[in-house]
A and B are shown apart, each in its own frame.
Chain A
Amino acid sequence: MKRILSIAVLIAGAALLAGCPKKHNVNDAPVAGTQVPDSSGNAAEGASTSTSPLDGDANSSSRGLNGEGTGPLARKIIYFDFDKSEIKPEFADIVTATAHTLSGNPRLKLKLEGNTDERGTREYNIGLGERRAQAVRRALMLQGVAESQVSTVSFGAERPAAEGDDEAAWAKNRRVEVVFLP
């Protein structure tokens, strides 16, 4: 990991040295207010100061592949009705199978990613997404899964699985993704 970080820092540093073409000349303006520097520095900072910033990106890049996999550790998706966080009967099997996998492998951990459709306000949707993830977490714990094995995150409406302004897209977005952690 250390080596990865140093590579990251080197590349970011090189980019900083090389400099970015500054097309915006507002920085020279006497009457313009606050300068907004170009943000390559920010990106580099984010990458170099955090402990494991890039693994997350790696996961997200392979998201589609994981979702289509099969087997007990493949990504599974539980869908919800509008404005609801109750697990529908047709998804009970996923919960049970997931609980079995976790119970049989006490060192295995998973993350429940709660999502909503785009309707409503963004931050309130974060709350709804969290509520959905928690509903799945509770169901797993009721089936004997240890609390320490399950974490949750809510993306609200920010990470849709499908684009579009219709019920077909919305139905695909109201979901909890069950992601086993490496």
Chain B
Amino acid sequence: MHKLFSCLAVLVLTWACPFTHASEFVVEVTKGQTEAIPIAVVPFASAELTAASFDVAQLVSDDLARSGRFKTMDRKDMIEQPHTGANIGFDDWRRLNNDYMVVGSMQADGPDRYSITYELYNVLTKQRLLGFQISSNRAGLRSAGHQIADAVFEKILGIRGAFSTRIAYISVLGHLPDKTYQLIVADADGENPHVVMQSREPLMSPSWSPDGSSLAYVSFEQRLPTMYVQTLKTGDRRVVSAQAGVNQAPSWSPDGKKLALVLSTRDGNLDIYVKDLTTQQLSRITDDPGIDTEPQWSKDGQSIYFTSDRAGGPQIYKVGIRPGDKPRRLTFQGSYNARPRISPDESQLAFVTQENGDYRIATMDLRGRGDVQVLTKGHFDVSPSYAPNGAVLIYASRDKGRGVLALVSADGRVQQRLVSSEGELQEPAWAPF
């Protein structure tokens, strides 16, 4: 009997291998920002191209709109469609209330080779702020569009754009008792999803290496928690922790040489440890009978933020990694504050807080007086993760009983949902630049 099951299990995995998981993402802006900057991204001239060619300008426009920082002009409201600065009637565009505009063109240089020229103008000063040419094949046009959006975003706002980055998340397909768990890596806008790991048993807690080359995660494929590090380019993976008891919540040190993780003693006490990935040496960071979990490194690699219920309910603490350092409690408001994540400049801490039975994403100011702001309004908002530019957080939410991913700006003023056509989406983790 076991033998039959064994063969079946392997077959299922291999049959499933095309992994064309096409989760169509629909972006809904659920809360906009009134002071969004008006910008027009004029369709790029592409005379020689076929109808099948990719609309790069539309992607640039969508990226900017989705950031919440920009209000993009609808194409049908455009009075003309200039493709170079020389043809822009600035006074007309100013009357249509545009502060900025992007114009450009795309041409075929050869079989599967395109060049895109684009310029960014300040409509008020008529000044050219950017002018670039990008060369790409057909498959790279989407990336080229994200690069243009990144450049425009940074030029106008002074903040590095994160449109070219990726996210990882868990998607759970099917229903009891027949579920499939997938670890997926996609573009930051949810497009181009690739299944990098699939299992009939739970997958949890994807965590990006600081260089973006690998993911650490927990898999229950052996019906026990095992922590793996998987290199995305090759698909190779190795076990980094498979001790008796829990092996949970990996978090990479900023230099990529160590993992903070959660292990348990024989009697089930969860504590934070650090594993040196070169020497395999383990050091224990916390030692408390409560649940200590969800570690995240400080930017300087000298401390770890974590969740602990040592004082009753879960609260957030910070402890130095040097032996003898005493944890310091950071959250005091409310009875449930958990899963800390620091913003890239460590000015802000994001976490999950409970408000009247609902779980929501909150932030705490780490530089000033520790002011707390609750950013979201859902019932099950968990797993916050900062974009590498710190401007936006992605988190897991619920929409009509289904797991979805959602975005909120770090100041809470802009909110969107990424609604996938299939699967329960969980535990988004934004990749580094």
Contacts and interface: CB of A to CB of B under 8 A. Distances in A.
Interface of A: 3-4, 7-8, 11-12, 14-15, 20-21, 23-47, 50, 52-61, 63-64, 118-124, 126-128, 130-131, 133-134, 137-138, 147, 151-156, 158-165
A40 to B, nearest CB: 3
Could you tell me the dominant secondary structure of chain A's interface residues? helix
A45 B228 CA distance: 12
Interface string B378-419: 011011000000000000001001000000000000000000
Given A11-B10, A21-B18, A158 B204 contact: yes
Query: Which 4 residue pairs are nearest across A and B when measured between Cβ atoms?
Result: A127-B291, A40-B17, A29-B140, A58-B5
B376 interface: no
A30 to B, nearest CB: 5
B290 to A, nearest CB: 9
Interface stretch (B37-45, B102-110, B119-127, B188-196): B188-196
B351 to A, nearest CB: 9
Nearest to A47: B10
Contact of B176 (A27, A126, A155, A162): A162
Interface of B: 1-3, 5-11, 13-20, 134-140, 142-144, 147, 164, 166, 175-177, 185, 192, 194-202, 204-205, 212-213, 219-225, 230, 232-237, 244-246, 248-249, 262, 264, 266-268, 270, 291, 293-294, 307, 309, 314, 336, 338-339, 352, 354, 359, 379-380, 382-383, 398, 401, 426-427
A132 to B, nearest CB: 9
A88 B58 CA distance: 59
B192 A11 contact: no
B147 A31 contact: yes
B294 A123 contact: yes
Contacts of B19: 20, 38-40
Given A21-B18, A30-B136, A45-B237, A38 B195 contact: yes
Given A46-B221, A54-B10, A127 B359 contact: no
A26 B139 contact: yes
B347 to A, nearest CB: 23
24 contacts: A4-B7, A7-B10, A12-B10, A21-B20, A23-B18, A24-B20, A26-B139, A26-B192, A32-B143, A34-B232, A36-B185, A36-B196, A43-B197, A45-B235, A46-B221, A53-B221, A53-B222, A56-B223, A57-B201, A63-B177, A121-B338, A123-B204, A127-B309, A131-B268
B50 to A, nearest CB: 17
A121 B381 CA distance: 9
B180 to A, nearest CB: 11
Contacts of B175: 163
A29 B136 contact: yes
B1 A43 contact: no
A56 B139 CA distance: 41
Contacts of A15: 14-15, 17
Contacts of B219: 46
A33 B166 contact: yes
B196 A39 contact: yes
A32 B17 contact: no
Among A37, A43, A162: residue with most chain B CB under 10 A: A43
Among A4, A15, A54: residue with most chain B CB under 10 A: A54
A159 B13 contact: no
Contact of A152 (B245, B291, B379, B380): B245
Contacts of B359: 119-121
A175 to B, nearest CB: 14
Contacts of B248: 123, 126
A164 B230 CA distance: 32
A56 B176 CA distance: 17
B415 to A, nearest CB: 20
B54 to A, nearest CB: 12
B177 A64 contact: yes
